[in-house]
Structure 1
Amino acid sequence: MVVNSQTNSVAQLSHRIVAGLGAVLVPLSIVGGVLSPVYVSGSLAAETPRTQSSQPENPFIQQAEKLQSEGKLKDAIALWQQVLQQAQTTHDRSTQKIALLGLGNAHKELKEYPLALSYYDRAKSLMEADSNPEELGRLWAALGFTYRDAGQLDQALPALQKSLGFKQQVRDRLGEGVILRSIGRLYEQRRNYQDAIAYYQRSLDVFVALKDLKWQGFAWNGLGRSYSAMGQHNPAIEAFQKSLQLVRQQKDVQGEADILTSIGMTFNEAGQPAKAVEYLQPAVVLHRSLKSRVEEARVLVQLGSANHSLGKNEIAIEQLNRGLALSEEIGNSAIRVNALTNLGIFYLNTGNPQKALTLFETGLQEAKKQKNLAQEQNLMSQLGVLYSQLGEHLKAIEYMQGSRERAKQLGDQSVEALELNNLGTIYYGLGQYRLALEHHFQSLELARKLGNRQIEGVNLGSIGIIYRATGNYEKAIQYAEDCLKIARELNNPIEETTTLLDLGLAYRRVDLAKSTPYFQQALELAEKINHIGLAGKARGNLATNYFDQRNYQQAAILFQKSVEIAVKTRDLREQGVALTNLGHSLFRLKQYPAAEKALQDSIAIWEIQRAELNRTDSKSSDRYKISLFERQRISYRLLQQVLVADQRPEMALETAERGRARALIELVARKHQGKNALEIAPPTIEQMKQTAKALNATLVSYSLISDDLNDGPKPEYGDAYVYIWVVSPEGVVTFRQSDIRPLWQNEKLKLNDLVLGSRQLLGARGRSGIKVVAVNTPERDSEDVLKALHQILIKPIQAQLPEDENASVIIIPQGFLFTIPFAALQDEQDRSLIEKHTLLTAPSIQALDLTLALKKSVPSTTNAIVVGNPAMPKVQVADGTTEVLDSLPGAEAEAKAIAQVLNTQPLIGAQARKSEVLKRLPKASIIHFATHGLLDDLYQREFPGAIALAPDQPQQVNDGLLTTDEMLNENFSLSADLVVLSACDTGRGRITGDGVVGLSRSLIAAGVPSVVVSLWAVSDNSTSDLMRSFYRNLQSLKPTPGTVTNLNYKAQALRRAMLETKQKYPAPYHWAAFTLVGRGF
């Protein structure tokens, strides 16, 4: 199976999630909160009411107006005050009105809006008494503009409406047009774009009738901005082109530069970056010639955005950095934040999320400092995108909801619709398809209400992808086709190309041959618009089709081209994916050296990406690495296949170990040894042999290998082989493999079905009595399933296992193999594996080796802590409801019995408060929890796992839970030599490429070398018996405190306990659930 850009669930919608935030990076019209270029704001001088009167010969008035025009506002105010006092003395009402207007205008220019309004109000009293509509028209305009500039938009609108009435009354057509345009701009500021367009159009009709070219240009510009904000890019560009034509007729170079900028930004937002560059390039030249450094910086950022969209990343990064440097040089915060945001998107898109995170956070701090709500909103949205791609879905939701709230505060329903779309995308990534569809349909409804066809199309595409993911291909195709219509209507080639890819992916599931034309169309369009990134994706999907048709030669040619493009665009993520696919194709062609090189190069890229994450705190770094490795693990498995096919199984084991539990290993090393990831090299074969010798143990490492399960024309991918390596204490390495394809071919079963079936047939259930989900394992009973698993996993290596039943056999599973009760697997003579061997489990050989460095002496039991049946907390479960966990009386009896063996007092009921337990944990040498262990049934938890303790505040939801989050904290460290989790399913968790993410992993990360967990919750009686037997045997087998003579006494104690329990309760359900994770001493 090859990897493509649509494989990962979040990546499937990545083009949708960025489309509204600037897949083509972020347009300044959103980021900076800027409604218009300088050209438009310069035109506002005509909005200021004139002070001339019928007394132009008054030299003081003329001098005051001259001072004001020269910007000497304080001097002008002083002179206006003199004029006003003289006019009041002489009772000259006309001059009083002129002076009051002059004072209002001067204070308005000084942004002293309350003073300006007070002078206008005084002028209004005189004018209303005189009932002069011409004067009142000017006065109400002044009041409206001042309210608007002061941010009091609700007061500004009625003032301008009154001015409009007076302008129409005196037939002042130019004044009428100016006020109509000003009302349009006011509606634009309020993000009511439909009303804005209506008023801009009315003003345009007036200016056309007057043949006033300058004001026609202003009106067309306002129409362009409003259409653009509604996502109606075609009419926006048409309006801007009209405005450009008019400013060129007037030889207005500044206006030309600004309109070129607006057109370029609109093409950028419309998914036409090549056209954007065509307009932005001359714009930046004009701004530079005009020495307009602010606009030059603004346009450089936009150019960088467009060139990044085209895949011209070397040019893009140079332009973005120049824009950032210039914005810092001139001290323009808004443009600086815009540049930081676009640089962040650049690094996120090219595979450097850590650098993107730093840039986004820096930008957000600056936006908050400047109280720029629009920029805050956008950066929170970008952080949501980033965390979504990193798999940090809860953080992503938090940021997207914050962005949506700010959009509401801004009154920007278009952005609110986008954030609803983005939230839907994140819920899709979480696998919560119902919630995802709810958000997308809400966004779709709002977009249609606003008439925003762009956002409507984005949602249609996203909904189609969700239907494709859920197997409803008919609806997926229907929604994608609707999206395609809108993309073509809006002339958005990027969205059109992306949707063609979506259609190809949907048809691939129905009819492989039908998908190829869509990928070919997408490739032709991407090449036509010179979009390197989308061309690479189209080429990759075509190559995947060739691969699935078993035309590996043609697939390899196209994947090689994808590698070259990804190198050219500096896109590490796409480069790694393309190299993986190339390696897979070359493997199929039996070109093993070339395949190995491609896969090694791919893995080198993945490891560079993971190393970047070490700059964050250990808990965040751990999460990101786990998420990242989910998308990367196929490269490691393919390389194992190549090396095995090339007769180098020992190197394949090194590769398997290189890709196993790396995040956990780096976390343990960082927390307890102060080492970084680059200092923790994967182990060599010789080092693995040394580990086996040091532990005097036989290491058994498993690897699941995916492949085509069918021989027919249509591929069906799944786990096809199990690779098994055995490393003996003497340093002998043996390799075997099990071919499990017959399971599928003969019974339509996959190995995971058999594993889940084993749990079902064993009767595994939680202490609350909830059974595991039933799995179809036709005509098999529990013994049959256990024997089948033994045949696959144990029989091939049976001869390599030790004859001594007390010798350690340490099993290193992979994926869902962690959930297998290895102790219960049966051979042909009906003997369980535990009868013949002493078993342990470990996440990886290197993780096992790290536990050797944690503690080596045998602990005393005087510091034991035993917790049983705490007063149960109230928790929020998966569906969002709250409930109090069931009491566990059997666990209480168990804890009391164990406490007697360990010579300590148990913490029962309210005594087991979380705060009390946390206070005692650091000094404890043995810790025993007999309580609920919660997995993925908690509401919206990023990683599963919590131990239920008594709450300190019983009414508070989730109070009393000791979570994996807390245990992964850098300051959480335990000195315990052994922790026992005698609770529900404590050995399970979320299965990831890094292993089982759950309670045992978090405890190992906290410094515990040995953890006993259960794969299911056993009945109270058998659990109590097994645990008492375990601790009695532990006491009798342990060496003298302070020494280590028996390297396996913990595992031997657990084995004896299991065998003793088996005699009383023969069914594996009662005794096979428990396993020791870590080292045996």
Structure 2
Amino acid sequence: MHRWGIRTLSFAMALALAGLACAQQPGLQEIYALNRQAVGLLEQGRYEQAIATARQAVQQAERTLGPDHPGLAAALTNLGQAYLAGGQYSEAEAPMRRAIEIGQSSWGMGPADLGALYNNLGTLYAKLGRLRDAEASYRRALGLEDRIGTPHLFVATWLNNLAVLYIREQRYQDAWTLAEKSLVLMPERTSADPAVAETFSLMGSLREREGQYADARKLLQWALDIRIRAYGEQHPVTATSLHNLGMVLEKGGEPAQAEPLLLRALAIRERLPADHPELGQSLVDLALHYQAVGKPQQAQAYFERAFVNLRARLQQYFGFMSEDDRLRLLDDVGYAFPAYFAFVLKNAPQQPGAVGTMYDLVLLRKGMVAISIRALQEDIAREGDAQALELARQLRERRTLMSNLQRRGITGEAIERLASESADLERQLARRSASFASRQQATQSRWQAVRDALGPGDAAVEYVVFDLPAPRAGSRSVVALVLRRADTLPRLVELGDGQVLSAALQDYRRRAGLDRQPPPPAASTRGFAEAMWKPLLPALGGARRVYLAADDVLNQVAWAAVSDGDALLIEQVELRLLSSTRELAAPRQPDAAARTAVLAGNIDFGSSKDGRDAFSPLPGTRDEVAALARLLGDASWQVTTLEGAHASERRLKAVRHPRVLHVASHGFFERRGTGTIALEDPMLRSGLALAGANTHGGPGEAGADEDGVLTALEASALDLRGTELVVLSACETGLGQIYQGEGVFGLRRAFEQAGAQSVMMSMWKVPDEQTRSLMTLFYGKWLAGVDKHQALRDAQLELRRQVIRDWGRDRPQLWAAFILLGP
């Protein structure tokens, strides 16, 4: 890979083309010397010094050459490359993009140099997981190939970088084709040339993925030999070859030969900044190596160092990334979490302290992106920065337009442009707030803080569902971490594998009346409570109140419906559902001072022209809203009702942090492949129907006006800071798409990100009559002074008794659908 920006020769040529000689204009020789020095420092792997020198070159070039000179582009490129090589990704993009802007408008920039600028930016985007942007940049570089003329080393480099991207996308044959083409473009290069080493390394990586370890080893050894001759024994590029060769030996069943190579790579990388990604890679892979060879103490030590590195990286990266960028990043680096969880599961008896570390990592990982986005939105609203508020307004506008277009079946370039603009706005907003980094540093959650927040009769439970690494890749494990106030360490309870979880969920659905399939033979499977709850009882030690944070598919369980065959779980213990037990130790956000409530219901959805309405009237919600308004009014609350045509998207978006927001309407979650429109984003496949939903939702052109459907994407931008309770009195409002570690993408995530402290929602469709009865019972108890979690429990049990009287038997599907999530 071409790592060092525009060649110094190109810089000199640019000056010559501009009609300038170094001796004829003061300061030019100094700029030239600084650029050469920066490139030299990069080639030596001295990244921090390279950054300082490149900054000097940029400052001098700005003063001497002006804002549009190709010489400034060269200095900016070297600065961007220094940031990239040093792992300071947050700083790299701005100088790289500015260099491209100069290159596009400057007559002194040749096609090879302009292509190098695009290639460098593509490399940064690939490091950040922005693969689509990376491919676009690489292709822009390759689009200049014909203008370059003679087959050029740069083109070979660009092909290699695109091939690396294809490997990440599992397009292995395409990657191999590009690697072969790259070698063809270097006929005059010798086997000692670093450029050839890049291609050998790429080919070795491809052979490794095919399981051809002997061929991979040969190719990677050639690459290593070349790099040692070119860069020396201690260069970070040499460390990359050492690490890659060590990993091939590890996977090929030669761990004893792999270990010294991995340690040599680490020794070089330890001179890099503490948050450098290559250092983190070495630490994780060495931890996995020592785990595989049965040395748990060494593995634990390397895992702990790896997660210190990862925390530091996330703090840096989240400060300039969009939400999708953050999720993609976690896809790339998040493998360290399940790898460690599997290690703890195997070695907890010998390494009991590792269970505490695992609990800390669960607190870090669960909902990490959602928390960071919520913190960002709170900071923007609190600080009142005019520019940030304007960016937030533009973001809301684009999300609305994107929601409207997609729900009307309009796709293609317009949607892609809006998505790109939205992501850029999110990145700009992130840069204006240090919320994630500062809050994470100040409030890194530890299991001891959760324990200390528990009362004498309390317990905390973190369910964790994770994928197992090789040799059990493709399998899953389910565990629970249990914590009581008197515990000196959390307790780890193994619950089974993915098959046990699937069977347990089938039993849960059958008992709740959601699955009409006949029950399996009694001896063939365990029930949900037997598999997922009873194994916890010894660790719970008779706790009367349990704070429970589900994970993965367990997030879609309505725990009120869980029964062990003799009694309901909520009859035996007081359950309080949280997104993470981290919430117990977090500073409590103040509730909205005023007793204000906004109630939306009895909504006029309108009628479509063809008579095929997507949303039918809900006359029962008129009585629901009226009953709740009376209860709240009698308790001296200030109540605003939104009914009929007034229950519009625009009015709901204008609501500002009431203490209670209650929406009685149609909710929906369209599973992928269902419905009339194929939508990829789960935050667009989930939403609430509001006034005019039937009249604005048909095919046709859409503008920025509201369409009557509040998608989860739009709801996430509501201002609900200080809102104590959001009640989504609608069908399936708790459903969504599961994203490992981040919970459920849908309305629940949206309202949590918007600032709501607690959200009540349903896990399946419930008739109007039972919904109205449950809501009336709940509000009556809560307003009378009962804790809201206890109020929901009591209301559900009372409604259950009514159902049994009316139907002669229990029907959980009529009374157990709603859950309350939050403190």
Task: Compute the TM-score of the two structures, normalised by the length of structure 2.
Answer: 0.72
The correspondence for 2:702, drawn from 956, 964, 968, is: 956
8 Å contact from structure 1 (residues 324, 336) kept in 2 = yes
Query: In structure 2, what is the equivalent of residue 889 of structure 1?
Result: 616
Q: Secondary structure at the match of 1:609?
A: helix
Which amino acid letter does the alignment assign opposite residue 809 of structure 1?
V
Where do 1:833-848 residues align within 5 Å?
833=569, 836-848=572-584
The answer for the alignment partner of 1:25 in structure 2 is 5
Cα distance in 1 between the residues matched to 2:608 and 2:304: 49
Partner secondary structure for residue 1034 of structure 1: helix
Q: Does 1:855 align with 2:591?
A: yes
**Closer, same or farther: CA 302–1024 of 1 in aligned 2, 3 Å:** farther
Please state how far the C-alpha of 1:918 moved relative to its aligned partner: 1.7
* Alignment match of 2:629 (pick from 881, 890, 903): 903
Q: How does 1:1027-1046 map to 2 (within 5 A)?
A: 1027-1040=771-784
2:727: which partner in 1? 979
Q: Deviation string for 1:317-358 (max 9, x for gaps)?
A: 354234224313424432334323432232234322222245
Specify the alignment match of 2:394 in structure 1.
Answer: none
Q: Which runs of 5+ in 1 are unaligned?
A: 1-18, 44-253, 255-286, 404-414, 422-442, 710-714, 744-748, 766-770, 772-776, 875-882
Aligned residue number for residue 505 of structure 1 = 205
> 1:317 is paired with a residue of what secondary structure?
helix
CA shift for structure 1 position 1060: 6.4
Q: In 2 relative to 1, CA 1071–1049 (structure 1 residues): closer, same or farther, beyond 3 Å?
A: closer
Distance 1:538 1:864, change over 3 A: same
2:480 equivalent in structure 1: 724
Determine which of 442, 456, 460 is the counterpart of 1:680: 442
Supply the distance in 2 between the matched residues of 1:574 and 1:595 (Cα, whole angstroms).
Answer: 18
**SS of residue matched to 1:479:** helix
The equivalent residue for 1:226 is none
1:138 corresponds to: none
- For the pair 1:701 / 2:401, whether they are aligned, the reply is no
SS of residue in 2 equivalent to 1:544: helix
The match for 2:359 is 653
Residue of structure 2 in register with 1:1078 after alignment? 822
Tell me what 1:301 maps to: 35
Contact 2:77 2:99 survives alignment (8 Å): yes
Amino acid at match of 1:735: R
Percent identical across equivalent pairs? 16
Amino acid at match of 2:223: A
Q: Which structure's residues are more often helix, by fraction? A: 1
Offset, 1:813: 2.7
What SS does the corresponding residue of 1:975 show, helix, strand or coil? coil
Structure 2 counterpart of 1:336, one-letter code: L
Contact 2:602 2:643 in 1 (8 A): yes
2:242 aligned with 1:536: no
2:222 matched to which residue of 1? 521
Residue in 2 that maps onto 1:344: 80
SS at match of 2:481: strand
Mark the CA change 1:703 to 1:781 in structure 2 (over 3 Å): closer, same or farther: same
1:925 matched to 2:665: no
Aligned to 1:547: 250
What do residues 973-1029 of structure 1 show as CA deviations (whole Å, max 9, x unaligned)?
A: 3535233263446443451544445432342233312112345xx34xx34344223
State the one-letter code of the partner of 2:791. Answer: Y
How far apart are 1:740 and its partner, in Å? 3.7
- Quote the Cα distance in structure 2 between the aligned partners of 1:565 and 1:390: 23
Q: Measure how far apart 1:677 and its partner are.
A: 1.8
Assess if the C-alpha contact under 8 Å between 1:867 and 1:931 holds in 2. no
Which segments of 5 or more consecutive residues in structure 2 lack a partner in the other structure? 383-434, 631-639, 673-677
- One-letter amino acid matched to 2:439: A
| Residues in 2 aligned to 1:911 and 1:555: alpha-carbon distance in whole angstroms | 69
Q: Deviations over 1:352-404 (max 9, x none)?
A: 2222245457768988999999999997886676566445678x48xx87x8x
Which one of 793, 798, 806 corresponds to residue 532 of structure 2?
Answer: 793
Equivalent of 2:687, from 937, 944, 947?
A: 947
> Where does residue 321 of structure 1 map in the other structure?
55
CA shift digits 1:101-160 (9 cap, x unpaired):
xxxxxxxxxxxxxxxxxxxxxxxxxxxxxxxxxxxxxxxxxxxxxxxxxxxxxxxxxxxx
- Partner AA of 2:822 in structure 1: G
For 2:108 and 2:719, the matched residues in 1 are separated by 36
CA–CA distance in structure 1, aligned partners of residues 7 and 376 of structure 2: 41
Measured in 1, the distance between the counterparts of 2:570 and 2:339 equals 33
Q: Tell whether the 8 Å contact from 1:586 to 1:594 is kept in structure 2 after alignment.
A: yes
Select the structure with the greater relative contact order (CA < 8 A; seq sep ≥ 6).
2
Matched, 1:1008 2:756: yes
Q: 1:1031 deviation in Å?
A: 0.6
- Aligned to 1:611, what secondary structure does the other structure show? helix
Partner Cα distance (1:623, 1:693) in 2: 38
User: Does 1:1049 pair with 2:791?
Assistant: yes
Contact persistence 2:759–2:820 (CA under 8 A): yes
TM-aligned CA distance change 1:756 to 1:321, over 3 Å: farther
Alignment-derived partner of residue 412 in structure 2: none
- Counterpart in the other structure of 2:183: 485
Length-normalised TM-score, structure 1: 0.56
In structure 2, relative to structure 1, the CA distance for the partners of 1:1031 and 1:1044 (3 Å cut) is closer
Asked if 1:566 is matched to 2:269, the reply is yes
Taking structure 1 as reference, are residues 762 and 989 closer, same or farther at Cα in structure 2, changes over 3 Å only?
Answer: farther
Contact 1:787 1:825 in 2 (8 A): no
Residues 861 and 902, structure 1, Cα contact 8 Å, conserved in 2: no
Partner of 1:988: 736
Aligned to 1:596: 300
Letter of the 1:656 partner, please give it. Answer: V
Aligned equivalents of 1:699 and 1:885: distance in 2? 48
Contact 1:936 1:944 in 2 (8 A): no
| Conserved? CA contact 1:824–1:1072, under 8 Å | yes
Alignment length (residue pairs): 727
Partner AA of 1:956 in structure 2? A
Q: Distance in 2 between matches of 1:849 and 1:459?
A: 49
Conservation of the 8 A alpha-carbon contact between 1:1058 and 1:1071: yes
Closer, same or farther: CA 369–506 of 1 in aligned 2, 3 Å: closer
Give SS of 2:455's match.
helix
1:699-727 per-position Cα deviation (integer Å, ceiling 9, x unaligned)? 21123454456xxxxx3424554332222
Find the partner of 1:418 among 110, 126, 140: 140
Structure 1 residue 889, shift from structure 2 partner: 1.4
1:928 is displaced (CA, Å) by 1.9
Distance 1:471 1:364 in 2: 30
Partner of 2:650: 915
Encode CA deviations 1:25-44: one digit per residue, 9 max, x unaligned: 245899x8x9x44446659x
What is the identity, as a one-letter code, of the residue corresponding to 2:473? Y
Paired with 1:1044 and 1:1027, the residues of 2 have a C-alpha distance of 20
Aligned ranges 1:152-551 → 2 under 5 Å: 293-294=27-28, 296-298=30-32, 300-301=34-35, 304-305=38-39, 307-308=41-42, 311-314=45-48, 316-333=50-67, 334=69, 335-360=71-96, 386=124, 389-391=127-129, 396=133, 417-418=139-140, 475=173, 478-479=176-177, 482-483=180-181, 485-486=183-184, 488-489=186-187, 491=189, 496-514=196-214, 515-530=216-231, 532-549=235-252, 551=254
Instruction: Tell me the distance in 1 between the aligned counterparts of 2:625 and 2:577.
Output: 26
The change in CA–CA distance for 1:459 and 1:821 in structure 2 (over 3 A counts) is: farther
Q: 1:290 to 1:920 in 2, by over 3 A?
A: closer
Deviations 1:903-939 (A, max 9, x none): 3897566433221112235336132253344579686
**Superimposed CA distance per residue, residues 205-248 of structure 1 (whole angstroms, 9 cap, x where no aligned partner):** xxxxxxxxxxxxxxxxxxxxxxxxxxxxxxxxxxxxxxxxxxxx
